[in-house]
A and B are shown apart, each in its own frame.
Chain A
Amino acid sequence: AQSVSQHNHHVILSEAASLELGCNYSYGGTVNLFWYVQYPGQHLQLLLKYFSGDPLVKGIKGFEAEFIKSKFSFNLRKPSVQWSDTAEYFCAVNAYGGSQGNLIFGKGTKLSVKP
């Protein structure tokens, strides 16, 4: 069965620190990859997505993610975090050719940024 692993449950950083959140998935075929973010008290929203092409994807608010097919990874990065980045981050995978509706999420990583 397909699965998504997020390595860190809770990450605490100071403002201006660099961020990297790990995400690995288990599926050997073609995948579409997503990072969603949930700010405190708000709904889940898309941060960035990868379908094909350049494996380095840029999203909103200075976030980027790199797809490394050989490592089955899609790590999220940001060079310098801000207090407003405090949120929970979810990696998600949709296996191409699988159920169109089945977006598989990781358990999430809670990011706390200290001002």
Chain B
Amino acid sequence: GAGVSQSPRYKVAKRGQDVALRCDPISGHVSLFWYQQALGQGPEFLTYFQNEAQLDKSGLPSDRFFAERPEGSVSTLKIQRTQQEDSAVYLCASSLDRGANTGELFFGEGSRLTVL
């Protein structure tokens, strides 16, 4: 597609529910990133894939967060047993290059998660 596509754009979950957020990167992009952006804050790194390999997951805040990119294209961020502090905008970005330090990241519009 023309850009990075994320779905759903908005998700309201009750505390304790599991949620899955999807990211369709730009076709052919090698690298895929997930960021979490809380209200009034800048994006914070969660995890990074190079093709299907998850090379860095150091930013995932707890073992309730899990991300996958099984075929090196679409990625899913799953949050189990959601908590109120998980409320944020989850941003996906992709890059043609390997990693964030070699080129431009193309961001999606984000998935806004609200946990009640």
- Residues of A in contact with B (beta carbons under 8 Å apart): 4, 6, 32, 36, 42-46, 49, 90, 92, 94, 96, 98-108
Residue B99 at the A interface, CB < 8 A?
yes
Residue in contact with B55 in the complex, picked from A43, A45, A98, A100, CB distance below 8 Å: A100
Q: How far is it, in angstroms, between the C-alpha of A99 and the C-alpha of B55 when the chains are bound?
A: 9
Residue in contact with B101 in the complex, picked from A6, A96, A106, CB distance below 8 Å: A96
Using known A-B contacts A101-B56, A107-B41, determine if residue A46 contacts B101 with beta carbons closer than 8 Å: no
Interface secondary structure of B, over-half rule: loop
Residue B44 at the A interface, CB < 8 A?
yes
Contacts of B41 in A (CB 8 A): 107-108
Tell whether, in the assembled complex, residue B105 and residue A103 are in contact, meaning their CB atoms are under 8 Å apart.
yes
Contacts of B101 in A (CB 8 A): 32, 94, 96, 98, 100, 103
Residue B59 at the A interface, CB < 8 A?
yes
